[in-house]
Amino acid sequence: MYHLLIVDDDKINLATAKKALSSVYKVTAVTSGEQALRFLQNNTCDLILLDINMPEMDGFEVMAKIREDLSLADIPIIFLTADSDPQVESRCLKEGAMDFITKPFVQNVMLSRISHALELEALRRDLSAELEARTIHIKYIQEMMVIGMATMVESRDLSTGGHIKRTSMVVRIFAQKLSNEPDSLPKSFLDKVIRAAPMHDLGKIAVDDRILRKQGRFTPEEYSEMKKHSVEGQRIVQHILEGVEEAEFVKIAENIAHYHHEKWDGSGYPDGLSGEEIPIEARIMALADVFDALVSKRCYKEPYSYDKAFSIIEESVGTHFDPKLGKIFLECRPELQALYDSVCNDLEKII
Ligand SMILES: [Fe+2]
Ligand SMILES: [Fe+2]
């Protein structure tokens, strides 16, 4: 049964309305704005019938206070007015009331206005739930497409199988640790970094197969070709995501692709940025990227032991890596070892 809250300082009006509505709805009746707000602190309702002219706090003020509270902001409000002034009516609707009912009440009119308002509200909720579900679905499809593209790019590079999936899992663990830090980065930002991580090497699509699949070390020319994947990656990410994803996410994904090979001391590529000039999302990605390269088998090296990999990272904190982030990354060792001992080994078998 729908629950209505009626707010009216006129006790006779209140009693009339309560009598007319009680057979169809659960009704709570109060005589002032303060009482209504107090009721809403601990209770909720499906619709509010709100008198405009009340002493102390008028209906407009009460509505403004209700709208300030996000948990109450969606409750539809119908104003009760003894005024048939069109200006008052237009102000009611302009300020966010769903409808208004003039006093003295005509029972049938009041009942049908309330039932229409409740139907409309139910429809609005259904629509927004459906929209939310569709948005989530579209985002999921898009993420799967991006991961599919990244995996395709990676499959050309015979030496780094599983790198995209593993680095994404490393970023997730790292982000989790970062979110527990005092003055941590906002969770919404870290979630975007996790979602963008699989795109960090998309630019490798523009690198020649001959270089990508080369067994052994690169010549200086080949290395400078390989380095182009960062700039190319930024361009591709921008091309895929712009206009589809929200601007903040596009920027984060672009920065990750563009700057994940920059180093804290300025000796990285492509732009030789240093310190905090390097976007923090790229500094996070750099740690995950290098860690995976160290503990994985590459065509030019066997996997390093965890001891060796973590000591290389530790030595590079302050030169290659952001000192603060590097220290926190090192604290992720138990979780990272557990990940590589279990999931990543299985991943190797699947890929
Ligand atoms: Fe890269
Ligand atoms: Fe990478």
Ligand 2 centroid distance, CA of 334 (Å): 22
Same domain, 89 and 165: no
Ligand 1 centroid distance, CA of 261 (Å): 6
Ligand 2 centroid distance, CA of 212 (Å): 12
- Domain CATH for 121: 3.40.50.2300
Question: Looking at the domain assignment, is residue 147 inside a domain?
Answer: no
Whole-number Cα distances in Å, 283 to 34, 254, 258: 52, 13, 11
The set of residues, in sequence order, having a beta carbon less than 8 Å from that of 338 and lying 6+ positions away, is: none
Instruction: Kindly report, residue by residue over 139-172, the tens digit of the pLDDT.
Output: 888 888 888 888 888 887 765 568 888 999 999 9
Ligand nearest to the CA of 234: 1
Ligand 1 centroid distance, CA of 14 (Å): 70
What is the residue whose two structure tokens read 């290389």?
Answer: 312
Ligand 1 centroid distance, CA of 163 (Å): 10
Same domain, 267 and 346: yes
Question: Looking at the domain assignment, is residue 150 inside a domain?
Answer: no
Ligand 1 centroid distance, CA of 256 (Å): 9
Nearby residues for ligand 1 (ion, Cβ within 5 Å): 201
Same domain, 201 and 330: yes
What is the residue whose two structure tokens read 């979630």?
Answer: 191
Ligand 2 centroid distance, CA of 194 (Å): 14
Question: Looking at the domain assignment, is residue 291 inside a domain?
Answer: yes
Question: Looking at the domain assignment, is residue 214 inside a domain?
Answer: yes
Ligand 2 centroid distance, CA of 226 (Å): 12
Same domain, 84 and 170: no
DSSP secondary structure of 138-200: HHHHHHHHHHHHHHHHHHH-TT-TTHHHHHHHHHHHHHHHHHTSTTPPPHHHHHHHHHHGGGT
Instruction: Give the rounded distance of the alpha carbon of 30 from its chain centre.
Output: 39
Same domain, 167 and 73: no
Same domain, 299 and 162: yes
Same domain, 174 and 30: no
> Cα(318)–Cα(315) distance, rounded to whole angstroms?
8
- Domain CATH for 276: 1.10.3210.10
Ligand 1 centroid distance, CA of 238 (Å): 16
What is the domain range of residue 33? Answer: 3-128
Ligand nearest to the CA of 257: 1
Same domain, 78 and 205: no
Ligand 2 centroid distance, CA of 147 (Å): 14
Amino acid at 145: M
Which ranges of 69-106 does DSSP label H, i.e. alpha helix? 86-94
> Cα(326)–Cα(156) distance, rounded to whole angstroms?
31
Ligand 1 centroid distance, CA of 201 (Å): 5
Same domain, 122 and 196: no
Q: Given 128, 144, 171, which residue is the final one in a domain?
A: 128
Question: Looking at the domain assignment, is residue 56 inside a domain?
Answer: yes
Ligand 1 centroid distance, CA of 289 (Å): 7
Ligand 2 centroid distance, CA of 55 (Å): 67
Q: Given 113, 128, 143, which residue is the final one in a domain?
A: 128
Ligand 1 centroid distance, CA of 116 (Å): 58
Ligand nearest to the CA of 228: 1
Amino acid at 204: K
Nearby residues for ligand 2 (ion, Cβ within 5 Å): 201, 289
Here the tokens at position 288 are: 């995950």
What pLDDT score does 105 carry?
A: 85
Question: Looking at the domain assignment, is residue 80 inside a domain?
Answer: yes
Count of structural domains within the chain: 2
Question: Looking at the domain assignment, is residue 148 inside a domain?
Answer: no
Ligand 2 centroid distance, CA of 141 (Å): 23
Same domain, 111 and 167: no
Same domain, 123 and 164: no
Residues (pLDDT < 70) of the chain are: 83, 158-161, 299-300, 343-351
Same domain, 65 and 209: no
Ligand 2 centroid distance, CA of 130 (Å): 37
Question: Looking at the domain assignment, is residue 276 inside a domain?
Answer: yes
Q: Given 82, 113, 128, which residue is the final one in a domain?
A: 128
